[in-house]
């Protein structure tokens, strides 16, 4: 497993993966030693993160292989269906995966998402419209939501 970092406007992001897929994208409080030579796929991830933060990328295209249960993967897949610049609730995700009683389980799966930003768990808000937990911190969640909304508004 290779490791590299991306210095984003909202902090350091650690990227792990191999030649075949990106396995995790997580916010990090510190930058450890990184591999000097990384597979092209991890560089593509860094390049796409750069384009995302510049406002020119709405959907990530690099291959991702997160580790998780079948249920978690179904939730993470549903998250990728939330349009850029939009938000959804845990309840709406539960409906998308045809399991309306799984709202809490959806929240739990959302909190375990290993591919921050690329699998947009930051787009999930409470049914009442309030921001809810985010592993990277609520301030980052708010920043990401505002970044996407501002980018969409600039293009209109």
Structural contact between residues 124 and 93, judged by C-beta atoms closer than 8 angstroms: yes
Among 75, 96, 118, 121, which one carries the catalytic annotation?
121
Burial of 12 (0-12, 13-18, 19+ CB in 10 A): middle
Helix (H) or strand (E) holding 131: none
CA dist 23 and 28 (Å) reads 15
Distance of CA 102 to the CA centre of its chain: 21
Q: Is 45 a catalytic residue?
A: no
Q: Strand 88-89 and strand 124-125: pairing? A: parallel
CA dist list (Å): 138 to 34, 93, 133 = 27, 20, 6
* Residues annotated as catalytic (active site), given as ranges: 121
């Amino acid at each position: 497993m290779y490791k590299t970092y991306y210095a984003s406007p909202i902090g350091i992001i650690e990227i792990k993966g191999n030649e075949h897929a990106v396995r995790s994208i997580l916010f990090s409080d510190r930058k450890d030693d990184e591999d000097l030579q990384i597979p092209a796929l991890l560089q593509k991830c860094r390049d796409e993160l750069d384009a995302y933060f510049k406002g020119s990328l709405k959907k990530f295209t690099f291959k991702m292989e997160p580790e998780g249960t079948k249920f978690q993967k179904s939730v993470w897949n549903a998250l990728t269906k939330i349009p850029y610049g939009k938000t959804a609730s845990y309840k709406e995700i539960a409906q998308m995966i045809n399991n309306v009683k799984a709202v809490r389980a959806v929240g739990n799966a959302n909190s375990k998402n290993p591919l921050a930003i690329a699998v947009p768990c930051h787009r999930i808000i409470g049914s009442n419209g309030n921001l809810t937990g985010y592993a990277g911190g609520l301030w980052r969640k708010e920043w990401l939501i505002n970044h996407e909304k501002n980018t969409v508004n600039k293009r209109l």
